[in-house]
Amino acid sequence: MGVIVNSGFSKEKFEKFLNKTERPLLENDNKAYRHLVKADALRIKNYFWESIDEYLNSLKYDDTNPDTYVGLAYSYKQTGYIKSALSAFNKAKSISPFHKELFFEVGCCYCIDKKFSMAIKEYKRALQLSPDFFEAKFNLAFTYELNNMNEQAVREYKKIIQDFPDHIKSYNNLGGLYMKLDQYKQAIKVFKELIKIDSSFSRAYLGIAISSDKLKDTRTALRYYKKYLKLNPGSENLAYIQQRVVELTKSRDLSKKSHLMLVS
């Protein structure tokens, strides 16, 4: 992780931090380092509980190394102990307060714990440290959506699309959000833009189909339902969509017959 320089970080504090990290290794440092290396190796191999023991052993000899807390936090996160992960990430953050990734990870943990307002604060702090931090931008938008802050979510997705016009997930999320808000015409526009980027993205066709269906545009709905089924024949919604195609086809045929009766 790169160090993010912040105006509140004085030269004196920075030199003190460097001196602390570059001091000669003492006996306890060697023991702490050996446990840390072993813990990292265990975590890489997905032995998370064993790695937690080694991280805790490392902290017995040196409780000032942020890398130890970060590794411990990741292992706790993988085992589902989110509160313990939060505690470890926050400890690392207190030791090394200018790493954008630490704020990001804390935000992710709060999201998992469904504390969305707190997650939003962490993502915003990460973006203060690094305004171009893309993952934090996307997670901020998604967390606004999870927290039912829909206007903010729409605004953030639009910003991402403006800066990253090929980011498919943002188009997909924005289109889905418009559908959730019953803004079907807006949803269709977004999904059509997505198809221009990736014509094989089947969910965009389904989004247009459902939105058109809601708008009583039977012809367009049928066309896009069929395109979706062609691209995704193994869809878990296959039975429902096939039934809807049958219903819309009958409805259209009845409408045509009614029209012919009127003009004959």
| Secondary structure percentages of the chain, helix, strand, coil, to 5 | 75, 0, 25
Retrieve residue 88's tokens.
Answer: 């470890």
Q: How many domains does the chain have?
A: 1
| Dihedral angle, C-alpha 176, 179, 181, 185, nearest 10 ° | 120
CA atoms within 13 A on the CB side of 67: 11
Q: Which two tokens stand for residue 65?
A: 């190394």
Say which CATH number the domain at 42 has.
Answer: 1.25.40.10
Which residues does the chain have with pLDDT short of 50?
Answer: 1-23, 257-264
Per DSSP, 47 falls in state: -
Indicate whether 263 belongs to any domain. Answer: no
pLDDT tens digit sequence for 191-212? 999 999 999 999 999 999 999 9
| Cα–Cα distance measured from residue 167 to residue 237, given in angstroms and rounded to the nearest whole number | 25
91 in any annotated domain = yes
- Burial of 15 by CB count in 10 Å (0-12 exposed, 13-18 middle, 19+ buried)? exposed
Q: Is 160 part of any domain?
A: no
Q: For residues 212 and 133, what is the distance between their CA atoms, to the nearest angstrom?
A: 36
What pLDDT score was predicted for residue 255? 57
Domain that holds residue 76: 24-97
pLDDT at 253: 59
Q: What is the pLDDT of residues 48-65, one digit of tens each?
A: 999 999 999 999 999 999
Query: According to the model, what pLDDT value does residue 237 have?
Result: 86
Residue 37 lies in a domain: yes
